[in-house]
């Protein structure tokens, strides 16, 4: 009797493979209860994803869909799902080239349109792919086929291992009750950058500052209603991914434990928390306001530098000074907040209060109480004429004199900073006005030029032999 029952049991198992195979549970973003994302400026992000889970048995294979295809699996941590036995990132997505790779050694159908409108189809075996050419076995003959628009390739079946979206699978030792699993991992494909719009007042004495954070998602996954944090600063990316993951996740844990408004100091960095959740679509750049200041007091200046060297210079040089603004990052001048590095674009109003783009600059990471200088371009209304007026040899070096005429064609007065640079020891013999700053290799003068006028700066220095 046992011999008769045994084949029936085997046949039943073959007809019902689910009884001997592990059951699969798919968890999509619909089961997501929380999503926190920290973006860094150098193609790096930290994702913390919480999803509800049913009771798990040791036979269950859990499929987590809608995860980053650029996940660094060596940094993945899964909590709340029992003791993890194995975890795999399934990143083989369905596209034209992966289908070709999958069908190497298998049959495909080549279709080609004829001039009469009919389409010829031929079943061949795909042998290899190199560049834009495929080699096929057509009835025992090896032929090359260009992978161009003239040919249409029909794949007989859809490989089940090629996914529409990346997914994560794992097995655990099981859980005793329903719960929430927390997934934490680092991923490439996430980054952010700062962009500033600074609007000058009509008298160039103040600025309106708007800072926009541009968030970029190239992870291959939708990040829906995410709590977003932005880390400003040049973080050291260790080659050891586990060590890097530990550092970044510790930073995230510190951020989670504080409820202070942005920005907040985080070790040697600044962490900004967006006030509202943000949805980041794949291959999309999203801009959100990060900071704003209505009236920042600034000094609008122009700057010119020249070298004084121990040689005869017979040239007369005409040049335009560099136009720039200067301000101190403190509350007294209207700011007093940490400024992430980013590109600045300046706008200025005309007589009718219409705004015009007048230049751009790069702002470095700026802490509170640091001074900021941003160059906007060359001045239009101010011209400096520079010429050497004297050169004499001396027993210990030489004596050199220069004259600089600063012409202002505008109606308003202009302040010009003139800096002379020295490559050897020097001393000032005479000057039409005293420098506002001196050092071993530099002297600086500030010249105020009234509208429709010019000012003369004459300098005589002794250059000593090194």
* Distance of alpha carbon 53 from alpha carbon 31, whole angstroms: 8
At residue 106, φ and ψ (nearest 5 deg) are: -120, 170
What is the sign of the dihedral through the CA atoms of 357, 359, 362 and 363? Answer: negative
Indicate the average pLDDT of the chain.
85
- Residue 210, pLDDT above cutoff 80: yes
Check whether 174 has a pLDDT greater than 70: yes
The three-state DSSP-derived secondary structure of 77-88 is EEECCCCEEEEE
In the structure encoding, which two tokens stand for residue 284, read together? 């999309």
What the block records as the tokens of 87 is: 């975890």
Chain CA centroid to CA 169, Å: 30
Tokens of 227: 């709590």
Of the pLDDT bands very low, low, confident and very high (cuts 50, 70, 90), residue 206 is very high
Q: Note whether 54 and 186 are within 8 A (CB).
A: no
- How far apart, in whole angstroms, are the C-alpha atoms of residue 321 and residue 417? 9
Report strand pairing: 269-273 vs 223-232. Answer: antiparallel
Q: Quick one: tokens of 350?
A: 């005309």
Q: How far apart are CA 442 and CA 307, in angstroms?
A: 9
CA distance 235 to 219: 20
Instruction: Say if residue 245's pLDDT is above 80.
Output: no
Q: Which tokens hold the place of 182?
A: 């927390």
Place of tokens 């928390």: 273
**pLDDT reported for residue 252:** 52
Go through the domains of the chain in sequence order and give each one's CATH number.
96-154 (2.30.30), 299-321+379-464 (2.60.40.1180)
CB 81 within 8 A of CB 87: no
Please count the CA atoms within 13 angstroms of the CA of 382 that sit on its side-chain side.
28
Would you say 417 and 444 are in contact if contact means Cβ atoms under 8 Å apart?
Answer: yes
Per-residue pLDDT averaged across 314-324, rounded?
94
Highest mean pLDDT among 141-150, 242-251, 417-426: 417-426
Of 93-102, 290-299, 362-371, 425-434, the poorest mean pLDDT is in: 93-102
Q: How many CA atoms lie within 13 A of 321 on its CB side?
A: 28
- pLDDT per position as a tens digit, 177-196: 999 999 999 999 999 999 99
Express as a percent the part of the chain with pLDDT over 90: 56
Q: For 430-439, what is each residue's pLDDT tens digit?
A: 999 999 999 9
pLDDT at 259 over 50: no
Helix (H, G, I), strand (E, B) or coil at 256: helix
Query: How long is the chain?
Result: 466
Give the three-state DSSP class for 266: strand
Rounded to an integer, what distance in angstroms lies between the CA atom of residue 69 and that of residue 91?
Answer: 6
Quote the longest CA-to-CA distance of the chain. Answer: 125
Question: How confident is the model over 382-400, as a mean pLDDT?
Answer: 94
Give the pLDDT band (50/70/90) at residue 396. Answer: confident
Confidence of residue 2 (pLDDT cuts 50, 70, 90): very low
Sheet holding 342-349, edge to edge: 284-297, 206-217, 190-200, 342-349, 355-363
- Distances in Å between the Cα of 164 and the Cα atoms of 30, 79, 98, 157, 158 are 17, 26, 12, 15, 11
Q: 244, 237 in Cβ contact below 8 A?
A: yes
């Amino acid at each position: 009797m046992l011999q008769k029952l045994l084949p029936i049991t085997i046949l039943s198992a073959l007809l019902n493979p689910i009884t001997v195979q592990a059951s699969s549970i798919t968890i999509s973003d619909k089961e997501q209860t929380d999503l926190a994302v920290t973006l860094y400026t150098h193609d790096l992000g930290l994702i913390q994803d919480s999803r509800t889970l049913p009771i798990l048995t040791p036979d269950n294979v859990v499929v987590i869909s809608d995860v980053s295809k650029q996940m660094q699996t060596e940094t993945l941590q899964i909590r709340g799902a029992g003791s993890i036995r194995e975890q795999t990132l399934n990143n083989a997505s369905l596209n034209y080239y992966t289908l070709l790779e999958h069908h190497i050694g298998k049959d495909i159908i080549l279709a080609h349109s004829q001039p009469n409108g009919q389409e010829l189809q031929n079943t061949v075996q795909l042998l290899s792919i190199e560049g834009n050419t495929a080699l096929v076995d057509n009835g025992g003959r090896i032929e090359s086929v260009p992978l161009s628009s003239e040919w249409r390739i029909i794949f007989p079946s859809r490989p089940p291992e090629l996914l529409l979206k990346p997914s994560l699978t794992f097995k655990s030792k099981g859980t005793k009750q329903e719960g929430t699993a927390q997934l934490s991992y680092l991923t490439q494909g996430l980054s952010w950058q700062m962009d500033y719009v600074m609007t000058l007042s009509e008298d160039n004495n103040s600025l309106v500052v708007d800072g926009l954070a541009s968030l970029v998602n190239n992870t291959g996954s939708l990040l829906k209603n995410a709590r977003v944090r932005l880390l400003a600063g040049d973080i050291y990316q260790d080659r050891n991914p586990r060590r890097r993951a530990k550092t970044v996740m510790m930073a995230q844990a510190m951020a989670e434990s504080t409820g202070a408004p942005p920005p907040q100091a985080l070790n040697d960095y600044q962490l900004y928390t967006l006030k509202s959740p943000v949805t980041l679509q794949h291959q999309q750049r999203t801009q959100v306001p990060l900071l704003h200041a209505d009236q920042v007091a600034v000094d609008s200046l122009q700057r010119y530098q020249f070298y004084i060297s121990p040689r005869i210079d017979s040239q007369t040089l005409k040049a335009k000074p560099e136009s720039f603004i200067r301000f101190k990052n403190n509350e007294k001048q209207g700011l007093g907040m940490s400024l992430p590095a980013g590109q600045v674009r300046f706008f200025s109003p005309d007589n009718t209060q219409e705004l015009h783009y007048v230049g751009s600059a790069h702002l470095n990471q700026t802490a509170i109480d640091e001074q900021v200088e941003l160059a906007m371009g060359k001045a239009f209304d101010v011209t400096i004429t520079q010429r050497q007026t004297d050169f004499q040899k001396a027993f210990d070096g030489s004596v050199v004199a220069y004259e600089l005429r600063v012409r202002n064609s505008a109606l308003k007065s202009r302040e010009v900073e003139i800096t002379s640079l020295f490559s050897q020891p020097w001393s000032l013999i005479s000057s039409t006005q005293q420098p506002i700053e001196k050092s071993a290799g530099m002297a600086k003068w500030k010249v105020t030029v009234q509208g429709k006028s010019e000012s003369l700066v004459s300098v005589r220095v002794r250059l000593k032999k090194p």
